[in-house]
Amino acid sequence: MAILAALTIFCLVRTSRSDRDIAPYVSRILFWLLVPIVSNMVIALSDNITVCKFCFTIYFISTTVLLFYFDEFSLEFCNFEVKHSALTKVLLGLVILDSLSLVLNHAFNHVFVLSLVELDGKMAIEFQSKWYHMVHLGISAVLLTVAIVVLSYKIVKTSKLYRGRYVIILLACIITTIWETTHIVINDKIDRSIVGLGICGIFIYLYSIEYQPLALMEEMKKTVLATISDGILFFDDNRDCIYANSAAQLQLGMDMNDTSSGFEKLLALTGEDREESAYYESKMMTCTSLENGHEYIYDIEFHKLHDLQGKLIGSFAKITDTTERTKRENLNRFLATHDKLTGIYNTDRMYDEVRKVLQANPDKEFYIIASDIKEFKLVNDRYGREFADKLLVKIADMLRDKVVSPTTRYGRIGSDKFGVLIEKENYKEETFINAVKEVPNVGRNLVIPIIMHVGAYEIEDKNMPVSAMFDRAFIAIAGVKHEADFKIAYYEDNARDSMLWDQKITEQLDNAILTGQIVPYLQAQVSRDGKVVGAEVLVRWIHPEEGFMPPGRFLSILEKNGMIGKIDQYIWECACRILRRWSFEGRNDLYLSVNISPKDFYMMDVPEIIIGLADKYELDRKRLRLEITETIMMDDVDEKLKTIDKLREAGFIVEMDDFGSGYSSLNMLKDMPVDVLKLDMIFLKDTSQNERTKKIMSLIIDLAKSLDVPVIAEGVETIEQVDFLVEMGCDYFQGYYFARPVSLDEYEKKNLSVS
């Protein structure tokens, strides 16, 4: 029993250091096992009835508590979720009642009595059981039965891989029960059944704390190795393959369940010689295999395995299929340096390549070539994204075909912008001209023509930032971008100043509108009898640095970059505010004409905005006249006619501006439903020496009158022009002869204060 006590203490200490979830339950069993062992030791060594009676009481109580905790352990060990169930409460109640009854034995002697008797000439303690002793044994049997049932149920339900640990504890429990029953029958003074309980407790410790399920782990290893996607091979010290999972068999083309060729198959994949193979060292490598026309890329890890003495016991190889990952990484690397749409260099890579070529060829001369599609946004809006993408791809293909020298580099450096670095000796202007002429042929009839401009900059300072070199090529383009015909423009220093001015105007426009630098100027329109009937609203910029700026300094810039719509909308609203104030002052006899730029029809819904402004300021719509030029009818004629009809139906008077300055004015007059015709006096230049021109002008005025369309002559500057126009029957006049464009205050002082 002393040995058993020592073993129990050892197990208890080891269990207290364990971090397993089951450890607290095992600790309680071992502690309450130690109590009856010590009690029996005292009983065996003592002949004092009082001491023995106390120890018997402790012994009986501790075995009952021990069995209760054994039940708790069994439930937890078998993973039954009944910690606070009715079962555990009932069992705990039995333990408490039994313990109280055992304690009361000192008063009622209903469990057992002890007496001192002479046995073989020696005095000994005699144990006599009473009626409750059998009840106590029955409670113990119930507690033990619960554990046996729980363990048996678990054995039936669990996998055979797990049964061993439960079977051992169940057998120990059954043997302990038999041992205990034998002692009851023998009725020996010393309870040798405690030895069985002790051994059972030690088995519980071993199989719940120290037990390592080797067979289970081995089976799990095989299952895991069979299901992972990486190929796994094990080799012994003779390089014989002793295991290959299904992934490795598939990767190496091995027959199922035949691993003998594993090492040779691995050598064939890596391309290594048998005697120089990776078997002799741990390393990693990447291999490529072609199977059935498909390329496979594998990462292979090879590791030698040694025992604790450092002797080689074998090796293993892991084969990872990295085909998809490698292709994805290669694609990501490609996309990081190439344009996704066209497949040629992107901006950053293009700049890097240009820098490398220039550094590697310090003695050679180079051109930077840049291209830009005129009004690409309009092309995109008109024909759609798919068409625009095809156009860009065709430009990239053209660069691949036409630019083939070793030092040439090309790439896409903006939405519709491309760039090329080419040696001066390889540069031929006609090659680029002919290539660019092919670009518009993209398989459909085009209303908006595709016009490309090309800028060239001869590199003078190779240390200049590459981005600045391309900026200079684009500056050259900016100087000809408003021109309809294709040409290659070459950078000149004064072009840079023009570019900077364009940039300045563009950047300052919003603030100029916000701070009132953009102001309306009014040029009076008069009738044949000299009466002021209205005015055309013109735009001027009072710049804080540049001073008074006429429209020629900024309007063409805003038309080129598409920002003309902002300034037009602002002037339209200024005109509406002026008309609103004049109405309050009783001057409903005056009208204002505002200009609508051709690009406004692409950038906004013109009828919606103008109708909205008229409604906002509660205007008589006939007092807000709309001037459009015949150039708006160059394309998309049907849509433009619908827009004009919509404006006229809304009550606005539509004027055709600059009539006579184009090449198809009569055709426009035929197609365009306008209310007023504005004759451009450029048509009458040198009329005093040109009778033929006078006759044509007279016919135009007669034609307009026959169509009931009033005529306003603009740009009238001399008395001779006035006399001629009056004679021809012209209705209204506008020009320097009558009034220059003036500020609103000056116009009102001159024209609103007098009849």
**pLDDT tens by residue, 325-357:** 888 888 888 888 888 888 899 999 999 999 999
Q: Which positions ≥6 away from 597 have C-beta within 8 Å?
A: 559, 564, 565, 568
pLDDT score of 531: 92
Note the pLDDT tens digit of each residue in 378-395. Answer: 778 777 888 888 888 888
H helix and E strand count, the chain: 27, 22
Residue type, 523: Q
Query: What's the CA gap between 452 and 433, in Å, rounded?
Result: 10
pLDDT average, residue stretch 106-121: 83
Q: Where are the domains of the chain?
A: 2-211, 216-327, 340-491, 505-751
Whether pLDDT at 320 is above 50: yes
Distances (CA, A) of 751 to 522, 530, 626, 746, 747: 11, 12, 22, 9, 6
Residue written as token pair 């085909």: 323
Local confidence band at 669 (pLDDT 50, 70, 90 cut-offs): low
| Chain segment 592-645, per-residue pLDDT in tens | 999 998 888 888 899 999 999 999 999 999 999 999 887 776 666 778 888 888
Q: Which of 610, 611, 527 is nearest to 568 (CA)?
A: 610
pLDDT in tens, 708-719: 889 999 989 888
Distance (Å, rounded) from C-alpha 742 to C-alpha 748? 10
CA distance 542 to 519: 7
Q: Using 50, 70 and 90 to split pLDDT, how confident is the model at 529?
A: confident
Average pLDDT for residues 69-80, to the nearest whole number?
85
CATH number corresponding to 216-327:
3.30.450.20
Cβ burial of 404 (10 Å; 0-12, 13-18, 19+) is exposed
Query: Given a cut of 70, is residue 666 above it in pLDDT?
Result: no
Fold classified for 340-491: Alpha-Beta Plaits (3.30.70)
φ, ψ of residue 509 to 5 degrees: the values are -60, -50
Is the domain covering 505-751 a CATH 3.30.365.10 domain?
Answer: no
- At the topology level, CATH places domain 2-211 in Rhopdopsin 7-helix transmembrane proteins (1.20.1070)
Q: What are φ and ψ of residue 18, in 5° steps?
A: -80, 145
Q: What is the pLDDT of residues 435-482, one digit of tens each?
A: 777 766 555 555 566 778 888 999 988 888 999 899 888 888 876 766
Among residues 213, 222, 178, 223, the alpha carbon closest in space to that of 199 is found at: 178
Q: Given CA atoms 528, 533, 536, 540 in this order, what sign does their dihedral have?
A: positive
Other Cβ atoms less than 10 A from the Cβ of 564: the count is 22
At residue 367, the pLDDT reads: 92
Residue from 221, 445, 476, 206 nearest 367 by CA: 476
Task: Answer whether 2-211 and 505-751 agree in fold.
Answer: no
- Where helices occur in 192-308 by DSSP H, the ranges are 193-205, 214-227, 246-252, 262-270
Average pLDDT for the chain: 83
With tokens 């070199």, the residue in question is 469
Taking residues 148-165, what's their average pLDDT? 81
Cα 629 to Cα 595: distance, rounded to the nearest angstrom: 9
Q: What integer is the mean pLDDT of 60-66?
A: 91
Give the tens place of pLDDT for each residue, 250-281.
Answer: 888 887 767 777 888 888 888 777 666 655 56
Whether 421 has a pLDDT exceeding 70, the answer reads: yes
Is residue 662 pLDDT above 60, yes or no?
Answer: no
d(CA 702, CA 730): 9
Answer yes or no: are the C-beta atoms of 636 and 657 closer than 8 Å: no
pLDDT beyond 90 at 187 = no
> What's the length of the chain?
755
State residue 612's pLDDT score. 94
